[in-house]
Amino acid sequence: MTKVRNLEDAVAMVPDGATIAIGGLSMNATPMAFVREVIRQEKRDLELLAIVNGMAIDWLVAAGCVRRVIAGLVSFEGLGLAPNFRRAVQAGTIEFEESSEHILISRLQAAARNLPFMPTKAGLGTDVLGINKGRLRVDSDPDTGEQYVAALPLPVDIAVVHVHEADEHGNARVNPKLIWMDSEVVNAATTTIVTTERIVPHRSFTAEPHRTTYPRFMVDAVVPAPWGAYPTSSFPEYTHDKSFYEEYVAAAGSGREEFELFFKNRVAGPATHAEFIDANGGAGKIIEIRRRTS
């Protein structure tokens, strides 16, 4: 049974008010084609979970899709904190649950394993414990007296991750291998949607099963999305679009009208992902960001 869906139908699986875990890092392997379609379908009241993220959350906040963000960091790396996210948190227009990467991983592991908590040393002696009351608690081992943090489960309705290859049955893989934390959100989620650079034959997975990142029983829908991480990177195939980030930050700092025009023309306005790529440089941009190994 094929699990392949188009982008519009996959985003229609997301109800208003859902908790969505967004895969990738600040500038790598984020499912941006999916995020842009969420904006176009005007989803509302979303709770976003990201261990580390940037542009995806900033887009969704700018579009008015977000009620709450749970994250360890939301930044554009060397360009600073994500500007619309930062303004919304400072103005109190969205809720922000601040945590650390390892605490979020521990809470996701507790949810994935259906455990009452996952023990960790992360957060001991820090203010993170005080701002996460009801989600973390300090306990001690009855035999040794050693303290630890009990990280309570973090439920996830939908995880969305971007990969290099998938087949029609839902098997998916990251090349050369997964080196960040997407597996944690996939394991914890009730539903997982994978966007992929390309659909490959099923025999590609049966020939090398050890390379499978997410087997089909973990995946509910596969969405073909060539260049679907743009303007973030999809290492090692293409890098992030540095000029887009710079122009986005400049527009965000120029005033509300200037940014809204930029956002309409360069992000939300194009009807398809292909038109979005064209609006940001088209084939010339693809040639520019494509990584060469020789």
Which string of DSSP letters, residue by residue, matches 132-167? Answer: GBTTEEEEE-TTT--EEEEE----EEEEEEEEEEE-
What average pLDDT does this structure show over 70-93? 96
pLDDT at 294 > cutoff 60: no
Tens of pLDDT, residues 127-147: 999 999 999 999 999 999 999
With b for 16 or more beta-carbon neighbours within 10 A and e for fewer, the 196-225 pattern comes to bbebbeeebbeeeeeebbbebebbbbbbbb
Calculate the average pLDDT of the chain.
Answer: 96
Tens of pLDDT, residues 237-250: 999 999 999 999 99
Tokens of residue 88, six digits: 């919304």
Q: Which of 118, 99, 117, 111 is CA-nearest to residue 186?
A: 111
Q: What confidence score (pLDDT) does residue 179 get?
A: 77
Task: Identify residue 289 by its one-letter amino acid code.
Answer: I
Q: What confidence score (pLDDT) does residue 177 get?
A: 83
Q: Against a cut of 0.75, is the pTM above it?
A: yes
pLDDT at 254 > cutoff 80: yes
Q: What confidence score (pLDDT) does residue 151 get?
A: 97
What average pLDDT does this structure show over 24-38? 96
| Domains with residue ranges and CATH for the chain | 7-100+155-289 (3.40.1080.10), 116-152 (no CATH)
> The dihedral of CA 174, 176, 177, 180: what is its sign?
negative
71/49 Cα distance (integer angstroms)? 6
pLDDT band, very low/low/confident/very high, at 293 (cuts 50, 70, 90): low
